[in-house]
Amino acid sequence: MTFDDIFKSSFLENVTSISLLDMVLALGLAFGIGVFIFLIYKKTFKGVMYSASFGVSLIALSMVTTLVILAVTSNVVLSLGMVGALSIVRFRTAIKEPLDIVFLFWSIASGIVLAAGMIPLAVFGSLFIGIILLVFVNRSSVDTPYIVVLSCLDTESEQNAARQLNGFVKKSVIKSKTVSQKGVELNYEIRLKSDDTAFVNTLSELPGVQNIVLVSYNGEYMG
């Protein structure tokens, strides 16, 4: 093999298949949109514990996807090999929040669209999605379910507290009841009439009510 053979290699020919300007522009835009997705995620997060690493991974995911699609679009043979390589990858990280899946798919989709050269679609589409998420996710709703944990001394105080509770809330459903020598503990799922939670203070002052706790509930956790 001579030096001429080295410089005639198809590997070196692929160096110029994508211009430096295209790479810088695509990755720069991917970084910008990734930061925008990260900020929307941070603003709309409603889970138990915020993960900064997940937010940063959204930025990286947009850039990595752009990098991969740029390589795939420049070489048909490489695209076939990439499909085969990605098909054996298995991701085992548990996704607890449904919205996290939306943000992951958003980052991947923005990277694909950018690398395909559809810059206006990627930019304006991301802006539109971000506005929609801000409007609907941050919208306060009085129909949010809550759990009321009510501890009473006896049956009479339990019935009195239940009547008062039904008058304060829009809907209440008893989920569990525990009876012991110390008293009665009830768990109610309720829907509030408004954002006012002063009724908890009123119920705590009723005769026979030992303790009352109000927590938000989304079906998986309370907090």
Nearest to 72 by CA among 63, 81, 59, 84: 81
Flag whether pLDDT at 102 surpasses 60.
Answer: yes
Q: Answer yes or no: pTM beyond 0.75.
A: no
What stretch of H or E contains 132?
helix 119-137
Q: How far apart are CA 76 and CA 81, in angstroms?
A: 9
Q: Report the Cα 30 to chain-centroid distance in Å.
A: 20
Tell me the per-residue pLDDT of 157-169, one tens digit each, with 9 for 90 and over: 888 888 888 888 8
pLDDT of residue 221: 45
pLDDT of residue 14: 54
Q: How far apart are CA 152 and CA 165, in angstroms?
A: 13
Q: How far apart are CA 164 and CA 168, in angstroms?
A: 7
Flag whether pLDDT at 108 surpasses 50.
Answer: yes
Tell me the per-residue pLDDT of 46-75, one tens digit each, with 9 for 90 and over: 766 777 888 888 999 899 888 888 877 766
Flag whether pLDDT at 12 surpasses 60.
Answer: no
What stretch of H or E contains 150?
strand 145-152
pLDDT of residue 218: 59
Flag whether pLDDT at 127 surpasses 60.
Answer: yes
Return all residues near 78 (Cβ < 8 A) that are at least 6 apart.
71, 72
pLDDT of residue 195: 77
Q: How far apart are CA 163 and CA 86, in angstroms?
A: 60
